[in-house]
Structure 1
Amino acid sequence: MTLELKGITKRVDGRLHIKETSLRLEPGHFNVLLGETGAGKTSLIKLMAGLDRCASGSILMEGVDVTKQNTQQRNISLVHQFFVNYPHMSVFDNIASPLKVAGMAKSEIEGRVEEAADLLQLRPMLHRRPHELSGGQQQRTALARAIAKESNAVFLDEPLANLDYKLREELRAQLPELFAGRGAVVVYATSEPEEALLLGGQTALMQDGNVTQFGKTADIYRNPADLVSASVFSDPPINSARVTKKGDEIRLDAHVKWTATGEASGLADGEYDVAVRPHYVSPVRIADRHVPMTGTVQVTELTGSESSAHFKLGDQSWVSLSQGVHPYQVGEDHEFFMDPDHCFYFLPNGQRAR
Structure 2
Amino acid sequence: MIELQDATKRVGNVIHIKPTNLTLQTGHFNVLLGATGSGKTSLIKMMAGLDPIASGKVLMDGQDVTRLNTQKRQISLVHQFFVNYPHMSVFDNIASPLRVAGMAKSEIEGRVEEAADLLQLRPMLHRRPHELSGGQQQRTALARAIAKESRAVFLDEPLANLDYKLREELREQLPDLFAGRGAVVVYATSEPEEALLLGGYTALMEDGRITQFGPTADIYRNPENIAAARVFSDPPINVGRVKVIGAMAQLEGGGRWNVSGMADGDYAVAVRPHRVTPFRTSDADVELTGRVIVTELSGSDSSAHFQHGEDAWVSLAAGVHPYQVGEDHSFYMNPAHCRYFGQDGKRVA
| Fold-level similarity (TM above 0.5) | yes
Deviation at 1:254, TM superposition (A): 4.7
Match in the other structure for 1:209: 208
Provide closer, same or farther for how the CA distance between residues 52 and 224 of structure 1 changes in structure 2, counting only shifts above 3 A. Answer: same
Instruction: Quote the RMSD (CA, aligned, Å).
Output: 1.9
1:197 equivalent in alignment to 2:192? no
The whole-number CA distance in structure 2 between the counterparts of 1:282 and 1:193 is: 23
| CA distance 1:161–1:320, change in 2 (3 Å) | farther
Task: Measure the CA separation in 1 of the matches of 2:120 and 2:104.
Answer: 24
Could you tell me which residue of structure 2 aligns to residue 117 of structure 1?
116
1:258 match:
257
Q: Does the CA-based 8 Å contact 1:77-1:153 persist in structure 2?
A: yes
Q: 1:296, CA displacement in angstroms?
A: 3.2
Deviations 1:22-44 (A, max 9, x none): 11111011111111222111111
- Native 8 Å contact 1:205 1:233 kept in 2: no
1:294 equivalenced with 2:289 (yes/no)? yes
Find the residue that maps to 1:266 and give its secondary structure. Answer: coil
CA offset at residue 63 of structure 1? 1.3
Of the structure 1 ranges 149-158 and 280-289, higher mean CA displacement relative to structure 2 is found in 280-289
Aligned to 2:277: 282
Give 1:287 shift. 2.5
CA–CA distance in structure 2, aligned partners of residues 259 and 234 of structure 1: 25
Are 2:5 and 2:21, in contact at CA under 8 Å, matched by a contact in 1?
A: yes
What pairs up with 1:1-354 in 2 under 5 angstroms? Answer: 2-260=1-259, 265-354=260-349
CA distance in 1, matches of 2:182, 2:258: 50
CA contact (8 A) 2:253 2:309 kept: no
Cα distance between partner residues in 2 of 1:36 and 1:332: 36
1:118, distance to aligned residue in structure 2 (A): 0.5
Once the two structures are TM-superposed, the CA of residue 114 in structure 1 deviates from its matched residue by 0.5
1:59-91 deviation line (CA, Å, top 9, x unaligned):
011111111222222111111122222222221
CA distance in 2, matches of 1:129, 1:309: 51
Distance 1:25 1:291, change over 3 A: same
The CA deviation at 1:20 is 0.7
- Cα 1:325–1:189 change in 2 (3 A) is farther
Percent identity between matched residues is: 74
Distance in 2 separating the partners of 1:137 and 1:207: 33
Kept in 2, the 8 Å contact 1:281–1:321? The answer is: yes
Q: Distance in 2 between matches of 1:182 and 1:321?
A: 41
Structure 1: 5+ residue stretches without partners: none
Q: Match of 1:156, as an amino acid?
A: L
Q: Which stretch shifts more, 277-286 or 185-194?
A: 277-286
CA, structure 1 residues 92+212, in 2 after alignment: closer, same or farther (shift >3 Å)? same
Q: CA deviation at 1:285?
A: 2.8
- Deviation for aligned residue 1:324: 3.6
What amino acid is the match of 1:110?
Answer: E
| TM-score normalized with structure 1 length | 0.92
Cα gap change, 1:300/1:158 in structure 2, threshold over 3 Å: closer, same or farther? farther
Residue 330 (structure 1) shift: 4.2
Q: How far apart in 1 are the matches of 2:340 and 2:196?
A: 22
The answer for unaligned runs of 5 or more in structure 2 is none
- 1: distance between equivalents of 2:221 and 2:51? 34
* 146-155 or 211-220, which deviates more: 211-220
- Give deviations 1:256-289, integer Å, cap 9, x for gaps: 22233xxxx1112221111112221223332332
Distance 2:217 2:110 in 1: 38
CA distance in 2, matches of 1:157, 1:179: 15
Contact kept in structure 2, 1:193 and 1:235, CA below 8 Å: no
Q: Retained in 2: the 8 A contact 1:36–1:191?
A: yes
**Cα shift at 1:331:** 4.0
Kept after mapping to 1: 8 A contact 2:48/2:70: yes
Per-residue deviation at 1:189? 1.2
Q: CA 1:236/1:56 → structure 2, altered by over 3 Å: closer, same or farther? A: farther
| Distance in 1, Cα, partners of 2:97 & 2:270 | 48
Give the whole-Å Cα distance in 1 for the aligned partners of 2:257 and 2:136.
53
Deviation at 1:171, TM superposition (A): 1.5
User: Conserved in 2, the CA contact under 8 Å of 1:192 and 1:235?
Assistant: no
Distance 2:253 2:339 in 1: 21
Distance change in 2, residues 1:319/1:81 (3 Å): farther
Shift of 1:178: 0.8
The 3-state SS of whatever aligns with 2:274 is helix
Paired positions, count: 349
Asked whether the equivalents of residues 202 and 214 of structure 1 are also in contact (C-alpha less than 8 Å), the reply is: yes
TM-score by length of 2: 0.93
Q: Distance in 1 between matches of 2:301 and 2:174?
A: 26
Deviation at 1:304, TM superposition (A): 4.0
